[in-house]
A and B are shown apart, each in its own frame.
Chain A
Amino acid sequence: MAGKKETIRDLYTTMRRIREFETCASNLFAEGKIPGFVHLYLGEEAIATGVCANLKGDDYITSTHRGHGHIIAKGGDTKFMMAELFGKATGYCRGKGGSMHIADGSRGIIGANGIVGAGQSISTGVGLTILLHKTDQVCVCFFGDGSTNQATFHESLNLASIWNLPIVFVCENNGYGISLPQSKHQKVKDVADRAPAYGIPGVVVDGNDVFAVSEAAAEAIKRAREGKGPTLVECKTYRQHGHFEGDPAIYKPKEEQEAWLKKDPVKRMVKYMLEEADFTQAEVDAVDKAAQDELKEAIKFAEDSPYPAPETGVEDVYDDIVEEVRDR
């Protein structure tokens, strides 16, 4: 399935921006410029891109510890994202959240989250707000295969189904829950097989094919908007890096890694554009160049930004109480 040329360019632009952001983040982490833990979305770009292409500005998403791709695809600003990764005052979370916790309520981004499965139950509340406000918004809940063994998965899909909430549950099955391959962490091969347990549709798509993802998401989103309830969309993909940067991923078989790299979603998209969608190399290069320029600017913004002032460290705990800084 393919769309018009501009749609294809837009999809590729988002994928390329995510790829560029993650590549830069990987390098910056290796150079010691980004503190903490960084979990990258490299190899999974087609999913956030294909899903979010179907969302409106006021639709919601919940994200995960591997959330950079979701944030970018939902309209997040890479400058503020990068500044947050650096722990700077200008970051999305004023330097208090870091890579795993970027949120932007104004764009419907109800947060990346460091607790595996947390977004699932949060999405039910977002769905309840939509239901009671009687709008046609939807909430897309992204999560990985590893999180489908958390109690929140069961509780949330069950609640969403009995309340008929406008949620699309998008499982990014990247083959691993941290170091454990899917075959060792659950008996089912397709997470979507669990959908009938909640009386909701479950579909499996090639998560490295942005058009297939977009098509499946469009149908699930339409269903949610029409008040027909949640869908579980499982996107098969592969985590090209380790669980976090610095993880040598010795648990991943070499052949498996190589086979999946051949199915890289970004390269696949470029091939499609050049061979089947009437793009020239120069047109592809122009998108790549724009993404590189954007990230250079984002990194410069992050590097030039100040660290948070000490007094801000006790702010934002409460709306109305600022803790005293005491001698300890």
Chain B
Amino acid sequence: MKKTMTYSEGIKEGMSIRMREDPNVVLFGEDVGRFGGCFGVSAGMFEEFGPDRVRDTPISESAIIGCAVGASSTGLRPIAEIMMMDFLTVAMDQMCNNAAKLRFMTGGKLHFPMVIRTAGGAGVNAAAQHSQSLEAWVTHVPGLKMVFPSNAQDALGLMLSSIDDENPVVYEEHKAMLAMESEVDMDMGPIPLGKGNIVRPGKDVTIVAVGKMVHEALAAAAELEKEGIEAEIIDPRTLYPFDMDMVANSIDKTHKAIVVSEEVRRGGYMGEISAQIAENFFDALDAPVKRIGALNTPVPFSPALESQYLPNAADIVKAVKAQG
């Protein structure tokens, strides 16, 4: 059955499917209950699943993640919401020192099947403390997995897989994409973590883009097509584990690679992907890998400045042309 759904509804549907099946799946975080979440993602879940399983927490990010660590180690499969990705920094200790490390540190004696949902990304004039993209910080810590859907289908399918996973998974949802509608095949089920998606096939250049940047890449590809350049767009969907095989196969064909994310360029996760491509597929490349990211500044408030800060389709077009 196919259905048109918003990105936000895809997230909610994924959570709700598993919560209907498994009483151990619970959602907690700031204002996720009757209020429905700061962005309305969990609207209606409090009414469906009740106050025990859709729990409002105080504004205590560290306790939210710590609680998920303790709950997941004793039999629940918690989904903990950190309202804004910037607020992950408040809970960084719990995420990095406990959720990520304790399976390893206990020699596998304990395990932590938990999901940390968090709204990342800029573009809604929320300024620097409500807009940053911190993919590099999350993927840098061994023990965490990370997903970042770019459409409603992936939002649903990745949520199912994230809940099913036996490891802590950070699930980034882009706050400027929540209302974006797309068609969802309700029968598709979980999307395996670590499997990318060829969003648009092409033969001339490989563009690896995540989250909202997938849509900038699509806009860029439409421009490039007018000039006879066929871009292949890969959405890895999962940042770790990363589907490097899909990227490698594409580069074998295109011999050019551009990586795009909304992170500030300096130290971004796409720098890691760029380095891996350069290290492993140097011989297949006809041009240096190009990274596209945001300006190396905090996210500005004013719409005039924020649009300058964000990478966009024009940047991608320019980079493709510069590669020759």
Contact = CB atoms under 8 A, between A and B. Distances in A.
Interface of A: 60, 62, 91-97, 101-105, 110-111, 113-115, 118, 120-133, 139, 151-152, 155-156, 158-159, 162-163, 315-321, 323
B190 interface: no
Interface stretch (B8-16, B103-111, B147-155): B103-111
A97 B107 contact: yes
A91 B107 CA distance: 9
B107 A125 contact: no
A120 B66 contact: yes
Contact of A115 (B23, B97, B110, B111): B97
Contact of B62 (A94, A113, A152, A163): A152
Contact of B60 (A93, A128, A159, A319): A159
A120 B110 CA distance: 17
B52 A132 contact: yes
B139 interface: no
Contacts of A115: 93, 97-98
A318 B143 CA distance: 6
B72 interface: yes
A321 B168 CA distance: 13
A126 B74 contact: yes
Interface of B: 23-24, 26, 28, 52-53, 55, 57-58, 60, 62-63, 65-76, 78, 93-94, 97-98, 102-111, 142-143, 145, 165-167, 241
A110 B110 contact: yes
B107 A123 contact: no
A116 to B, nearest CB: 10
B63 A152 contact: yes
B58 A159 contact: yes
Contacts of B52: 131-132
Nearest to A125: B70
B70 A320 contact: no
A126 B165 CA distance: 20
A121 B62 contact: yes
A96 to B, nearest CB: 5
Given A92-B107, A104-B109, A125-B78, A317 B70 contact: no
Given A125-B71, A128-B76, A129-B75, A103 B109 contact: yes
B104 A121 contact: no
B207 to A, nearest CB: 26
A18 B76 CA distance: 33
A96 B102 contact: no
Nearest to B241: A321
Contacts of B72: 125
A95 B107 contact: yes
21 contacts: A92-B106, A92-B109, A95-B107, A104-B109, A105-B109, A110-B70, A111-B110, A115-B93, A118-B94, A123-B70, A124-B66, A124-B67, A125-B70, A126-B70, A126-B73, A126-B74, A128-B67, A139-B70, A152-B66, A155-B63, A319-B165
Given A96-B104, A115-B98, A103 B66 contact: no
B234 to A, nearest CB: 21
Nearest to A134: B52
B59 to A, nearest CB: 9
Contacts of B108: 94, 315-316
Contacts of A96: 104-107
A157 B72 CA distance: 19
Nearest to A121: B66
A103 B166 CA distance: 18
A234 to B, nearest CB: 21
Nearest to A106: B109
Contact of A317 (B28, B65, B104, B109): B104
A132 B26 contact: yes
